Structure 1
Amino acid sequence: MTDETTLPPYLRGRFAPVPEEHSAADLTVRGSLPPELDGHYLRNGPNPLPGEDNGHWFTGPGMLHGIRLRNGRAEWYRNRWVRTRELDGHPFIREDFTIDLAATPANTHVIRHADTVLALSEVGLPYWVTPSLETVGPYDFKGRLATAMTAHPKQDPATGELHLYGTGFTPPYLTYHRVTAEGLLLDSRRIDVPGPTMMHDFAITERHIIWMDLPVVLDPALAGRGGVPYRWDDGYGARLGVMSRTPGSTDVWWYDIDPCYVFHVGNAYEDAQGLIVLDAVRYDRAGFHRTWSETGGPTSPSGLAAAREPNHSQAAAVLHRWTLDQAAGRVTESRLDDHPAEFPTHNQTRTGRRNRYLYTVSSDGIAKHDLTHHTRHVYETPGNRHAGEAVFVPAADATGEDEGWLLSLVSMDDGTAGELLVLDAAELSVQAVVELSYPVPAGFHGSWLPEPVHRP
């Protein structure tokens, strides 16, 4: 029998991978599920096969967890590995040193666009899956996607277009792509950057794309040692780039900023004066290394330990704001909050537009940030529970930005059965808790997939 204390932190406790796929029906619900919640909640995350250690929390094969809600009931829970070429044993780098973009873990996010559900990881192609978690296969937008695809695409709520990018280990290091609301990859544009950085996220506004060219860079010398071959490089510099969304544009206006790293963006927008505002979770060099040291993740065991520090000024990651003045050619920076934070989410009808609220998670629970009144309200998860990313679901006919619910998969410190937490987003109060029959390891990102509304 394995002594759990000898396992790395990302293979034990609430991070422990589950060894099997399960299905359960007619789940117990405490409280009252809003009947309006008719759809699937899906979440992705790494889950190594039994007996395997991929050397890093980021690199385990993807496993989807799904819950079907309908008519105030939780009809089923399922978990399924994403059946990628990597899971079948195919190497990412072939013997001739070419890259198999379909041999990826597909372990970071899951979205739906143009009625196609995609499991995402940033090193390769997305994988097409069904709402019931069956894998269809790699997806390249009918042969038009020839690069990797970010795990954090952005959908414009007005146009329905999906904006995304791919990074490469060799030139081109960055390629921008635009997909129509109907799912057609319309154009791809090479963006010049100096080298292969770990660009995990970006932002859009109504008129611009915001790039983050930051000093965590590929180091080939680390390849083959297990883990992720990236390191902090003080010599690379840190900058934000502003590119017009005008079709065909590739010109980028770059703004140097204080050295930092960003895993996840909250949102970005253009204010009434034409200034571009970007809100994100910022790591300084020490915070990045402290979080990266054990497993290299924004909610890794080391990152969560740092989040418990009583001195919030030493928090590994905090909400931060950059304001870019294109007319003056300068950028200003400020902290939005001193508390630890990660996995920022918002009402996605406000993506690229001014938003009042952001939701984040830490070891304390789920926090609601009022960016107008500069307040922070927390729902504290009780006992040994740890909330995952809080996905906002807007209420039908909502008139306020925070009218809706937050869905979060909760993992347990001792690795026992998980829960789906449903909070009222306005009050941050418990609406319902769905009891799951099996453990749910801590993971990354998810989405709410509502059933189509058929109107007469």
Structure 2
Amino acid sequence: MPEIFSHGHSTLKYPNDNPYLNGAHKPIDLEYTARGPDLTIIGEVPKDLQGMYVRNGHNQVHEPIGKYHPFDGDGMLHAVWFNEGKVEYRNRFTQTTGYLAEKAAGKSLWPGIIEPKRRTRRGWGSIGAMKDNTGTDVVVHAGKIIVAMSQCSEPYRLDTQTLDTLGPDENWAAALGDRGICSHFKVDEHTGHMMFFNFSEKPPYMNYGVIDAGNNLVHYAPIELPGPRWPHDLGMTEHYSIVHDLPMFFDPESLKKGGHRLKFWRDIPARFGVIPRFGTNEDVRWFEAEPCYILHLSNSYEQGDEVVMEGCIMTNPVPDMHNIPAEGYERLCKMLDLHTTETRMHRWYFNMKTGETREERLDDEITEFPMVNGLYNGRKTRYSYNAVPQRGEWLLEGLKKFDFETGKTDRFIMPAGEFVSEAPFAPRLNAKSEDDGYLVTFVTNTNTGKGECVLFDAQNIGAGPICRVIMPYHIPTGAHAFWAGPHMLYENGVSLAD
């Protein structure tokens, strides 16, 4: 039987009409560890796969205050460790200050992103009203897991072996004050550096920083922006970072009255600031491009005089209001539908010599959540591994591999009722090429009610899963994921890749 760690303090009321608290999104009110006979294995677990696959997600515990958004829920990590053909799984909540306060109160104390005006106490994040749920992003850096939410939160650390919450990073969290750290911090596995940013409704509207391999804050600088912005990702190359000033942000007049409705300004160009890794605001080179919004980048790298950035562009991030309901969950579903927001693979070229921008569309299919081989992050990559979203839902129904050298793609769509998570690349031991390894993902299987960890051969994902590890219980659909090889799971922090 699985080893139960915690069970039974949810106050969610069922039935309810919120699609993000039901079906594939339904939270799990259980923390446990499973190994050996607790797991059913279909196929064979590769013995040349060693490391940890960890995925973050929003797993709401209490009946929400007001309308619930899928980015509001309490952060929960799910992780699988692979070692010589053996597998171990566990899931744990990140025990933030907000999580513990609500656990003690037995109810929600903070509203979510849709109705921040309903707050009655100080909150976290760039809005300053939400609970610090740390449920969006996850990486491993300096031998520990680090998590945060997309609206900026305290940088919480967790143990890579037990998922025990260790608290906000004791070396540098306090130095960031109430700004915290935004999701999509980038780890350079060759140097051990972690680049990050945060943003706020008050100046300075953005800060950019670097944590070194020894987990020390070695650089932190304000970045000037025209006003409050709502960035989501950060580019990283071998020598530069790329900050985003995008024309989707809160209407300034509405913001003055405490309103938080996002608007897409179709006549304002997107701006991308290329900054040396240890640069300041005076060093930023700004480049203008097609008006857009960006949730997630695939990779960035340097090529001659150019800095190249690849990722998923949104050309319609706030859809025409005439085509969607004014309020309610139907509106929310439409706003989150990646088919509505027209999210496709795209490439930007920033010429550091001439100051010119070039850009090109890489694909017509709607994809998102792109991943690359972590050892190539910040260096030129041949491959990107993207998720294929289901039309009309905030769910991922398949995977697609891009080969930028040949222009070929490979894809696999899951059977109906099965949904993948973000799928990082995991190199096999002694890998011989960039794609010599596996894609690892959790599958939310609404047909069986049990979660799965599924492996694909990265060189042939179209053939389907080569191994499925069936968990005893449901795993809700989630947010971001990370693959940490053996060299990252200890506190020396520096890759042996070079």
TM range, smaller chain: 0.7 to 0.9
The within-5 A match list for 1:102-251 is 103-122=131-150, 123-131=152-160, 132-139=162-169, 141-142=171-172, 143-146=174-177, 147-218=179-250, 221=254, 230-234=262-266, 237-248=269-280, 250-251=282-283
Partner of 1:61: 74
2-side partners of 1:292 and 1:396: how far apart?
A: 49
SS in 2 for 1:42: strand
The within-5 A match list for 1:328-347 is 328-347=354-373
Partner of 2:20: 10
With over 3 angstroms needed to count, the CA separation of the structure-2 counterparts of 1:414 and 1:166, relative to structure 1, is same
User: Shift of the alpha carbon at 1:165?
Assistant: 1.2
TM (norm. structure 2) is: 0.80
With over 3 angstroms needed to count, the CA separation of the structure-2 counterparts of 1:380 and 1:285, relative to structure 1, is closer
1:300-338 residue CA offsets vs partner (Å, 9 max, x unmatched): 85478654xxxxxx7721001111123222212211011
The within-5 A match list for 1:310-325 is 316-325=342-351
Are the aligned partners of 1:422 and 1:432 in contact in 2 as well (CA < 8 Å)? yes
Task: Confirm or deny that 1:85 pairs with 2:85.
Answer: no
1-side partners of 2:159 and 2:354: how far apart?
A: 48
Q: CA RMSD in A?
A: 3.4
Number of aligned positions between the proteins: 443
The one-letter amino acid of 2:429's match is: A
2-side partners of 1:380 and 1:56: how far apart?
A: 27
2-side partners of 1:219 and 1:315: how far apart?
A: 19
User: Shift of the alpha carbon at 1:180?
Assistant: 0.9
With over 3 angstroms needed to count, the CA separation of the structure-2 counterparts of 1:315 and 1:176, relative to structure 1, is closer
User: Shift of the alpha carbon at 1:10?
Assistant: 1.4
Partner of 2:441: 408
* Greater CA drift, 135-144 or 436-445: 135-144
User: Shift of the alpha carbon at 1:389?
Assistant: 0.6
Are the aligned partners of 2:171 and 2:216 in contact in 1 as well (CA < 8 Å)? yes
1:73-119 residue CA offsets vs partner (Å, 9 max, x unmatched): 223x2222211112124669997868588951100122111112112
TM (norm. structure 1) is: 0.87
With over 3 angstroms needed to count, the CA separation of the structure-2 counterparts of 1:98 and 1:353, relative to structure 1, is same
1:8-36 residue CA offsets vs partner (Å, 9 max, x unmatched): 22122111222332333321111111123
1-side partners of 2:68 and 2:237: how far apart?
A: 37
Are the aligned partners of 1:65 and 1:78 in contact in 2 as well (CA < 8 Å)? yes
Identity value in percent: 30
2-side partners of 1:161 and 1:22: how far apart?
A: 33
2-side partners of 1:204 and 1:33: how far apart?
A: 33
Specify which of 404, 407, 416 is matched with residue 383 of structure 1.
Answer: 416
1-side partners of 2:425 and 2:449: how far apart?
A: 26
1-side partners of 2:49 and 2:374: how far apart?
A: 17
Task: Confirm or deny that 1:48 pairs with 2:60.
Answer: yes
The within-5 A match list for 1:275-294 is 275-285=306-316
Are the aligned partners of 1:14 and 1:415 in contact in 2 as well (CA < 8 Å)? no
2-side partners of 1:446 and 1:141: how far apart?
A: 24
2-side partners of 1:30 and 1:450: how far apart?
A: 23
SS in 2 for 1:57: coil
SS in 1 for 2:455: strand
1-side partners of 2:326 and 2:155: how far apart?
A: 27
SS in 1 for 2:57: strand
Are the aligned partners of 1:57 and 1:296 in contact in 2 as well (CA < 8 Å)? no
Runs of 5+ unmatched residues, structure 1: 308-313
The within-5 A match list for 1:435-450 is 435-450=470-485
With over 3 angstroms needed to count, the CA separation of the structure-2 counterparts of 1:353 and 1:39, relative to structure 1, is closer
With over 3 angstroms needed to count, the CA separation of the structure-2 counterparts of 1:296 and 1:169, relative to structure 1, is farther
Runs of 5+ unmatched residues, structure 2: 1-11, 103-108, 391-396, 491-495
Are the aligned partners of 1:238 and 1:256 in contact in 2 as well (CA < 8 Å)? yes
Specify which of 20, 23, 30 is matched with residue 33 of structure 2.
Answer: 23
2-side partners of 1:50 and 1:99: how far apart?
A: 18
1-side partners of 2:168 and 2:263: how far apart?
A: 29
The one-letter amino acid of 1:276's match is: V
Are the aligned partners of 1:202 and 1:212 in contact in 2 as well (CA < 8 Å)? yes
2-side partners of 1:410 and 1:303: how far apart?
A: 24
Task: Confirm or deny that 1:359 pairs with 2:385.
Answer: yes
The one-letter amino acid of 2:79's match is: G
SS in 1 for 2:61: coil
1-side partners of 2:415 and 2:483: how far apart?
A: 24
Are the aligned partners of 1:385 and 1:413 in contact in 2 as well (CA < 8 Å)? yes
Partner of 1:310: none
With over 3 angstroms needed to count, the CA separation of the structure-2 counterparts of 1:34 and 1:99, relative to structure 1, is closer
